[in-house]
Amino acid sequence: MKFAFSTLGVPGLPVSEVLRLAVAHGYHGVELRAHPEEPVHPGLSPDERTEVAAEFKAAGVEILGVAGYARVAAPGDDEPVLDEIRGLVGLARDLGAPFVRVFPGGSKDQTDADAVAARRLGAAAEHAADLGVRILLETHDSHRTGADVIRIIGPVGHRQVGALWDVMHTWLAGEQPQDTYAALSPFLGYVQVKDIASAEDTTPLALGDGVLPLAECVEVLTRHGWDGWLCWEYEKRWYEAAEPLEPLLDGGRAHLGRLLNDSA
């Protein structure tokens, strides 16, 4: 498996500094948070995109994915959501990233969330296929479990639409790792790992210092021969009191390495 970290852990950091961290601490790739407050987002010009891609290539670091905020199940018209997805897919193509992350974002009382999301992802899939990018629906918010997400992406039935497994959200929803993997395995793009103190306190911790079932998740993946990406999403952006990510990067990579060795 390959290891990456998300720029959510180093909000606003210039690309050159993100790459310095990846190289210095032995990470194979980076997940780029695609928000206007970050250095990399859909508003970049073609020349700026080319420059970012060149910086990553020169550093020998892969851009794992573009983490967007499109909410595919949200109430309202389809076109604004599709426009947002197209912008993210175009950015990913220009950067050479294989994946785009989207959220479910259904409302609490919405009865047609699955159908709305499937319709929009189906409409976006052909555009993504033309650009060689895969759209991944994260286990998140209104659809926290693998069982929830598969209700959307299963009916889409398109190779360019897959799943992103966020281990915190499936755990918070009470789904066991083997059940998440069973649901998502035909569609799994990559896995976001993290750690927290408890269900009541989701402040990010160093990997291995919390309660999330990281060992079980890695064991399930290894047992089934899955050989993709583990991406550490350290949510510093939302928790200002959390420890800085940089001093934790070596330990995080070492912990993931130990989990892989133990599960081999």
DSSP symbols for 200-254: S---B--TTSSSS-HHHHHHHHHHTT---EEEE---GGG-TTSPPSGGGHHHHHH
Asked if residues 117 and 76 have their Cβ atoms less than 8 Å apart, the reply is no
Residue 42: what pLDDT? Answer: 98
* pLDDT tens, position by position, 154-213: 999 999 999 999 999 999 999 999 999 999 999 999 999 999 999 999 999 999 999 999
CA distance 52 to 80: 27
- Strands 134-138 and 229-232 come out as unpaired
CA distance 29 to 159: 23
- Tell me whether residue 36 is exposed, middle or buried, using C-beta atoms within 10 angstroms of its C-beta: 0 to 12, 13 to 18, 19 or more: exposed
Q: Mean pLDDT in the chain? A: 97
Residue 198: what pLDDT? Answer: 97
CA distance 210 to 36: 31
* pLDDT tens, position by position, 104-154: 999 988 999 999 999 999 999 999 999 999 999 999 999 999 999 999 999
Residue 208: what pLDDT? Answer: 97
Q: What are the domain boundaries of the chain? A: 2-263
Rg (CA), the chain: 17
Cα angle for residues 84, 90, 92 (degrees, 5° grid): 105
CA distance 4 to 262: 20
CA distance 222 to 189: 15
The SS3 of residue 2 is strand
* pLDDT tens, position by position, 170-180: 999 999 999 99
CA distance 132 to 264: 32
Q: How confident is the model at residue 264 (pLDDT cuts 50, 70, 90)?
A: confident
The SS3 of residue 257 is helix
* pLDDT tens, position by position, 16-53: 999 999 999 999 999 999 999 999 999 999 999 999 99
- Tell me whether residue 201 is exposed, middle or buried, using C-beta atoms within 10 angstroms of its C-beta: 0 to 12, 13 to 18, 19 or more: exposed
Asked if residues 80 and 34 have their Cβ atoms less than 8 Å apart, the reply is no
CA distance 99 to 31: 9
Cβ contacts of residue 148 below 8 Å, gap of 6+? 104, 139, 142, 173
Mention the CATH class of domain 2-263: alpha beta
